[in-house]
Every structure is written in C-alpha cells, then in structure tokens.
Amino acid sequence: MNESELKETLRRHGQEQVLRWWEELGSDARAELARQVGQIEWDKLSLSAEDGRRGAIAPIEGLSVAEIAARKEEYFAIGRDAVRAGKAAAVLLAGGQGTRLGSDAPKGTYDIGLTRPLYIFEQLVRNLQEVTSACGASIPLLIMTSEKNDCETREFFEKHDCFGYPREDIFFFRQAMAPCMDLEGKILLEDKGRIALSPNGNGGWYSSLVKAGLAEAMAVRGVEWYNVFAVDNVLQRICDPVFLGATIASGKASGAKVVRKAEPHERVGVLCLEDGLPSVVEYYELSEEMANLRGADGNLVYSFGVILNYLFRADTLKAIADKRLPLHAAKKKIPYLAPDGTFVKPETENGYKFETLILDMIRYAGTCLPFEVVREREFAPIKNKTGTDSVDTARALLQKNGVEL
C-alpha cells in the first residue's frame, strides 16, 4: 500500500488521525504502519450495539457417557480409520500469556511439575501422542500463537525438541489482530507509528489458518476434520478417535466435548438449541427456572457444559468463512498515545477491543453433537495459580489419572 492509497483508505473510513505523526516517521516506521492499516478488515469493524437478546432456548440431544461406552468400539474404529487416512488435524489455541499464573511467558510454557519439570505444552503433546500411538498414525498439530508470544513459543518447542513429536507435523501460525478503538470509534495508537491492536478472538482461528496458507496445505494432505482445543486444559484427549468416530457417525457438521454441570449455577457455557440451531448460552443468560430444570431422570435439563474442545468438518468451515461471524465489541482499559504525544494508561474503560468467538462457529455450523466426557478424566482447566480451576486443582487431577509430577 503506497502513501496515497494509505491516506485514501483512512479518509474513506474516517480514521485520518492514524497519520497524526506521519511526517515524523522514518521509512521503516511508515512501512510498518501502512502494513498494519492494510491488514484491517474494515467491513467487520462496527460499534453497532448488540441487543443481547436470545432466541427461543431448548435442550439439545447428545451422547451420554453411558451411550458412548455402549458403542465405544464402533466409534473408535471409525475414528481410528479416519486418523489413519490422514483426515484429522489438531488445532491448539495458544495465543495467551500466563499472566494470571504470575508469568509473562506464553501460558503453555508454564511448569506444572512437582518433582521434575512438566510444561503445559508438554502434557498436551503427550495427550496427543497417546492417540497417535493408539491409531498408529501421526496427526498434524497446528499451533495458533499471537503476535506477543509467537517467537517465544516456537523457540520453546525447538528447545525441547518438540517433546518428541515429529517436527514435520507441527505447524505454527499467528492469530490475526484487530485494531482497538476509543468510545467514539476512532482507532487508537500505541506509538506514533503503531496502531493499538488486540487478538481477534478464538473465533478467528480458521481465518488465521487460511491466511497462513495452512488450510490449503491441510486440504492437500486430505484433512477433513479439525479438533480445536484450548491450551489450559491439561487432561483433555486430543483428536480422540471415539469422539471423532461418534461425530462422523452422527452425520453432524461439528461436535463438542461437554461435561455435566456440577450444579445449576456453575460458571460454564451451556450447549443447547437456540431457534433450532446449536448454541452456547452463558450461565448467567439462563433463567432461574431453566438453570434448575430437571428431567425425569433427575438430571439437569440444561447440563451440557462446554470445555472448549470442538470438532469441525473442513467443508463446513469453508462455508462459515464465507459468512460474517458476529464481531463482539468489549469495553476495556486500553493504553494509548494521546494527541499531545503522551502515553496514557487509563484507569477506566476508554475503548473497545473486537473479537470473534468460536461459540458462534458452532451456531453457524448448523448441527452439533454434544459428546459427554467424565469431568475428572478430561477436564482440568488452569485459569488461576491457586483456588478454583488452578494449577493446584489440575495437578491433583493429573495425579489422580496416573500422571507423575
């Protein structure tokens, strides 16, 4: 993008303030600013208020632990054959830092060992290796990093020899970024030649994969299913052939691993139907009556808590990419460069960060299979250093499942 194109683009979108210090910038700084502007997806940026209203909510049918156990061998065989045929890929969402764990490093580099080092990344790779060993085939591992932690994450894997995973089957790609805006919709700067950016949310993983050329590369390899999972659940089974086989057998376009809610008001998103389509409703969006509603078997009717472990069919993802995922604007405290050139760290919310959510991809997929797993065997999230969903609770669950720490 040359200078005239840059100025015209910003003028057309009412963002001329981005070039406030243009004349002071050197050639490299100008080129970087032009690059940032060129990557903005203008058609997706909007401060249109979300009304927050939900459609008609109803329970969704899924597979219980008992139902899965009854057909486990059948589902495993279907999933194993798919893995052996190269039809599955794993996508690790690893763009976050370990801030809440007291670390500035990538979250996956955090050491959860007690008597020896055991890193979150290492445990996740081990979980995947269990599946590749059981299936007798390797699985592409696609790791989404962020602008902040990309180099450090790559170096960490290299330093540890990819924890024994085949180097040729590990691929890194960066999560796309979105510009931050003030409350009036003007793009903020963090430096005279740099726009204030934030990650575009976990719903942006596929568009980022496409931009990196990896979606095409995976298609060439014959990948038909993507298992997308978060970095912070160290117990999860990745590219689980039983989960994959059950989802394939169901004929649905997506699948979601779920756990039964521990109690009606547990702070977890609930997979259900909204206007007939699969949807994830946050715990606070359920009415008191719905949250406490129980079926004839005594179980909560709205009980499928999502754990951010999803399967998506590749052809469905292509269709979703052609649509416009909702862009959620969240009010945040955003450090910025004021018009007088001073750097400001606000004490109150002063702008918006934009993100797409993987939850919306489930709805856009049209169909989804809830696949229940045993909480104590597959759900050990690490959100905090101590207390609930912490390093301590995850360690206890790992030990309970036979992992030496």
Instruction: Yes or no: say if 313 and 254 are a contact pair by the CB < 8 Å rule.
Output: yes
Question: Full-prediction pTM beyond 0.75?
Answer: yes
Closest CA to 229 of 195, 257, 193, 210: 257
Instruction: Yes or no: say if 335 and 344 are a contact pair by the CB < 8 Å rule.
Output: yes
Residue 89 — φ and ψ, nearest 5°?
Answer: -135, 150
State the span(s) of the chain assigned CATH 3.90.550.10. Answer: 54-400
Beta bridge mates, 259? 305
DSSP string computed for 31-58: HHHHHHHHT--GGG---PPP------EE
Q: What is the pLDDT along the chain (405 residues), one digit of tens a residue?
A: 899 999 999 999 999 999 999 999 999 999 999 999 998 888 777 766 555 678 999 999 999 999 999 999 999 999 999 999 999 999 999 998 998 999 999 999 999 999 999 999 999 999 999 999 999 999 999 999 998 899 999 999 999 999 999 999 999 999 988 899 999 999 999 999 999 998 888 999 999 999 999 999 999 999 999 999 999 999 999 999 999 999 999 999 999 999 999 999 998 999 999 999 999 998 888 999 999 999 998 999 999 999 999 999 999 999 998 777 888 888 899 999 999 999 999 999 999 999 899 999 999 999 999 999 999 999 999 999 999 999 999 999 999 999 999
Phi-psi sector, 340: left (phi>0), alpha (psi -120 to 50), beta? alpha
Domain 54-400 CATH (choose: 3.40.50.720, 3.40.50.150, 3.40.50.300, 3.90.550.10): 3.90.550.10
